[in-house]
Amino acid sequence: MSAILATQPSRALLTQLEAMREQVQTPECRHWLEQELEGYSLCSPLPWYRIIACRQRGHFLNLKTGKYLTCHIGSQTLSQRDLAQIQFIYAREPAAHYLLRHDSHIEPWPDQLLEAYREQLIPDHLCLQAWHEPVSSLRSQLMEGIAHFISEYPKHAALQAQHGFKALRHQHWHI
């Protein structure tokens, strides 16, 4: 029952996006709405709220004792290039994909990355599985960002007809 109640604000937000798509006049806003509802392509820039900071965790086997351990993986144990692959979740799927799910959005490391670090992360331990998980709620951040755009866009559009949406997209980065 609580899962159903938790999706009500999400469903309302998605319904609001659908309704806006039919009403909005500016091409920039229509494009944003379409991307929110249909997903962002790999070459499309993401708004701030769709880039989610992550922490790294893993399951380890102590090679001396045979005991299992689940723990945090420090970012200093990875090269900068490898860390860049897993430091964030880039939420490109349609908004409904994230808003109507109630899991923690954990994503496993790419196989080649796990293989490269399997024996290096903790001395005398073998990493059996590694993943990254959002530091804060992906669903909450997405809801906050979309709601912010919906509430602020009419003000910006009225003040700056041509630049309202672009200014709004970058506004959060300057806070």
Task: Give residue 174's pLDDT.
Answer: 38
The per-residue pLDDT for 1 is 32
Q: What letter represents residue 62's amino acid? A: N
| Of the candidates 94, 99, 89, 100, the residue with the CA atom closest to the CA atom of residue 40 | 94
Q: What is the pLDDT of residue 102?
A: 77
Question: Distances in Å between the alpha carbon of 105 and those of 4, 36, 74, 98, 138?
Answer: 18, 18, 20, 8, 7
Q: pLDDT truncated to tens, each residue of the chain (175 aa)?
A: 334 434 568 899 999 998 888 888 788 888 999 999 999 999 999 999 999 999 999 999 999 999 999 999 999 999 999 999 999 999 999 999 999 887 778 999 999 999 999 999 999 999 999 999 999 999 999 999 999 988 877 666 666 555 555 555 555 543 3
Report pTM.
Answer: 0.77
CA dihedral 88, 167, 99, 83 (to 10 degrees): 0
Per DSSP, the three-state class of 173 is: helix
Note the pLDDT of residue 8.
65
Q: Please name the residue ranges forming H helices in 74-163.
A: 80-86, 95-99, 111-117, 138-159
- Tokens matching residue 97: 């994909």
In angstroms, the first-to-last Cα distance of the chain is 38
Tell me the two tokens of residue 130. 């590694």
